[in-house]
Chain A
Amino acid sequence: MQEIYLIFVVLLAALLGFELIRKVPATLHTPLMSGSNAISGITLVGALASSGGDYGWLTVILGTLAVALASINVVGGYMVTDRMLGMFKKKQK
C-alpha cells in the first residue's frame, strides 16, 4: 500500500508541476530557473538529519557538506531570483 500511495504522490506532484509551470511566461523563464534552483535546495531537509544525527564521522561529514551545498542553493537561489524579479518593471506613463 505504501508504494501505491507513493505513486499517487509522484503522479499528482508531476502533473501539478506541469500545469503550473506551463503558465509561466517566457519573459520570466530565467527567474523561474533560479527560483526552482532554490526550491530544489529542499534536499537540505534531508541533509539535516545526517548532519545532526547520532552517526559516525563519515555520515556527519557527508551530511554537513550536503547542508552547506543545499544552503548555497536555497539562500543564493531565492536572493538572486528576488534581485532579478525586482528589475522587471511596468511601463511608466
Chain B
Amino acid sequence: MDTLTYFINLAYVASAALFIFGLKLLGHPDSARKGNFVSAIGMFIAVVVTLMDQQIINFHWIVIGVVVGGAIGAWKAKTVEMTAMPEMVSLFNGFGGMASLLVGWATISGMTEEQLLAADGGLFVATFLTIMIGAVTFSGSFIAWGKLSGKMNSKAIIFDGLRLVSLGHLIALTILVVLFTLQPDVGIWLYLTIIVALSFGILATISIGGADMPVVIALLNSYSGVAAAAAGIAIDNTILVVTGLLVGASGLILTNIMCKAMNRSLLNVLLSGFAKPPEMGEKIEGEVKIMSSSDAFYVLEAAQSVLVVPGYGMAVAQAQHAVRELQDLLEENNCAVEYAIHAVAGRMPGHMNVLLAEADVPYEQLFEMDDVNPRMENYDVAIVIGANDVVNPAAKEMKGSPIYGMPVIEVYRAKTVFVLKRSANAGFAGVDNPLFFKENTRMVLGDAKDTLNNIIRDFSTD
C-alpha cells in the first residue's frame, strides 16, 4: 500500500468515527443538531480524500454532477413542507438506491474483457446484489413517493396472480445471479437483472396500502443503506460497507418498531396485499353523538388537563399551528396540555413530532403511548385530531377486527373524548371504529383546522 492510499484509508477511518459519533449525538433532541453537523463533516472528509485518489484524472464531470445534484438537493431541502417529509424521504431513498445501482453497473462497464474474465466470482455476486437491491430500492421508493404525494391512489393494488408473478421474479433473479456470475461479459444478463429487479420493487410496493407506509419507508431506508454497503464490497471500499450498514441497521430498527406498534410481523405487512382482506366479525352499532365547536369550547374551558392525539389527518388539514394556538390558550387558562403520539401515527416514523416541533410545541410535551395510557383516566378531555386506527378500541375489544391486538392509545378511558373528523354518517352507519359510539365520545364535525380555529375564536372573545 503506497503512502497516499494509506492516508486515504486513514481518513476513511476518521470519517467513519465521525458518522458513529454523529449518530450517538442524535440520541437526544438537545445534541441532535450538532450530531448531524458532525456526520456532515465525516462525509465531507470522505469525499475530499477520495478526490486525491490517483485513479481520478478528470474533474469536470464530477464537478458538474456535484453542482447539479447539490443544487437540486439544497433546493428540495429548503422548500419542502414539513407535511411532505414522507414523500421527500422516499424520493431520496430512491435516489440513493439508483446511485448504488449505477455504481454497480459502472464497475462492470469500466472493466475490460480480460479483467472481467480474470476477476473473482465474489466480485460479481457483490455487484449483482448492489444492482438488484439498488433497483428494488429505486422503483419501490418511486411507488411509495407516488402514493404518499397523492400522485397515485394510495390504496393497495392487488390483482389475481400477483403472488405467482412475484414468485416468478424471485426465481428469475436467482437464475440471473448464476448466469451473471458465470458470464459477466454477456451484457444481457446485467440488463435483465436491472429490469427484473425494478419490476420486483414495483410489485412489492403497489400491494401495500397507505396506512402501512411507515413500515415501507423505514424498510426502503434500510435497503438504500444495504445497497451502498453491497457497492462497497463490489468496489472494495470499506467506508461504504461500514456506513451503508449503519444506515441499514437504522432502517431495520425503525421497521421493527413500526411493526411492533401495529402488532404485525414484517412478513405480514409485506404480504398483506396477497391475503384476503379480513372480514369484520361483528357489526358495530350505536349512535354517534355530535357536538358543536362552541359546546366543545365550554368543555375545554372547564378542563384541567387535556391530551391531544394527532394523526395523519392533522397533517392533511395542516392543523398543527392551530393546535399550538389552542395549547397556548388552554395553558393560559391553567390547563395542562400533553400530546400522545403513536409510533405509526402519520405516514413515517416520527412524522407527528416534526409537525408539532414546526409549530413550536416543546418536545417535552410529546409523549409515547406507553407513557400516557397508565394515566389516561386523569385527562379531562382527549382530543383526537385526524387519527383513527391508533385510538381504535376495537384493537382491544373485538376479536374479529383486522387490527385486533394492536397496541393503541386508549383515549376512550379519558373522561371525555373529542373526535375531530371531517364527516360521520350519523346514526347506525357501519363505521369500523367503536370509539365513535362510546358514551363519553363527542364528534366535532368539520375540517379539523376550522374546528380548532372556531374554538380558538371562542377563547379569545371570552
Contact = CB atoms under 8 A, between A and B. Distances in A.
B102 interface: yes
B357 A89 contact: yes
Interface residues of B, number: 110
B59 A52 contact: yes
Given A27-B363, A36-B225, A63 B61 contact: yes
Nearest to B32: A85
Given A10-B241, A34-B89, A45-B237, A59 B110 contact: yes
B353 A28 contact: yes
Contact of B353 (A26, A38, A69, A72): A26
Interface stretch (B74-82, B377-385, B389-397): B74-82
Contact of A17 (B78, B240, B250, B363): B250
Interface in B54-71: 55-59, 61-62, 64-66, 68-70
Contacts of B341: 26-27
A27 B357 CA distance: 9
Interface string B416-438: 00000000000000000000000
Contacts of B343: 26
A73 B240 contact: no
19 contacts: A16-B249, A24-B26, A25-B27, A26-B343, A31-B354, A32-B254, A45-B240, A46-B232, A46-B235, A50-B103, A51-B62, A54-B55, A56-B110, A66-B100, A68-B65, A69-B95, A69-B99, A73-B73, A87-B358
B235 to A, nearest CB: 5
Interface string A43-63: 111111111111110111011
Contact of B77 (A20, A79, A90): A79
Given A53-B56, A73-B73, A20 B102 contact: no
Contacts, number: 361
Interface in A63-85: 63-85
Interface of B: 19-20, 22-24, 26-30, 32-33, 35-37, 39-40, 43, 46-47, 50-51, 53, 55-59, 61-62, 64-66, 68-70, 72-74, 76-78, 80, 82, 85, 88-89, 92-93, 95-96, 98-100, 102-103, 105-107, 109-110, 122, 217-218, 221, 224-225, 227-229, 231-233, 235, 237-254, 257, 341, 343, 348-351, 353-354, 357-358, 360, 362-366, 368
B26 A32 contact: yes
B349 A52 contact: no
Contacts of A66: 65, 98-100, 102-103, 106
Given A63-B65, A67-B65, A76-B76, 19 more contacts: A13-B241, A17-B249, A20-B23, A20-B27, A23-B24, A26-B343, A27-B363, A35-B22, A36-B246, A37-B93, A40-B224, A40-B225, A41-B99, A43-B244, A62-B106, A67-B69, A72-B92, A76-B88, A88-B32
Interface of A: 3, 6, 9-10, 13-14, 16-18, 20-56, 58-60, 62-92
A30 B53 CA distance: 35
A67 B66 contact: yes
Nearest to B70: A75
Contact of B362 (A30, A63, A90): A90
Contacts of A35: 22, 26, 35-36, 39
Q: Is the interface of B mostly helix, strand, loop or mixed?
A: helix
B106 A40 contact: no
A49 B55 contact: yes
B351 A30 contact: yes
A85 B37 CA distance: 11
A57 B340 CA distance: 55
A51 B368 contact: no
A89 B363 contact: yes
Contacts of B72: 68, 72, 76
Contacts of A34: 85, 88-89, 92
A42 B109 contact: no
B362 A75 contact: no
A22 B217 CA distance: 18
B7 to A, nearest CB: 15
B61 A14 contact: no
B248 A88 contact: no
A32 B250 contact: yes
B253 to A, nearest CB: 5
Most buried by A among B85, B93, B100, B350: B350
B349 A47 contact: no
B115 to A, nearest CB: 12
A86 B33 contact: yes
Given A26-B349, A42-B228, A73-B73, A36 B241 contact: no
A50 B29 CA distance: 39
Contacts of A56: 109-110
A92 B58 CA distance: 53
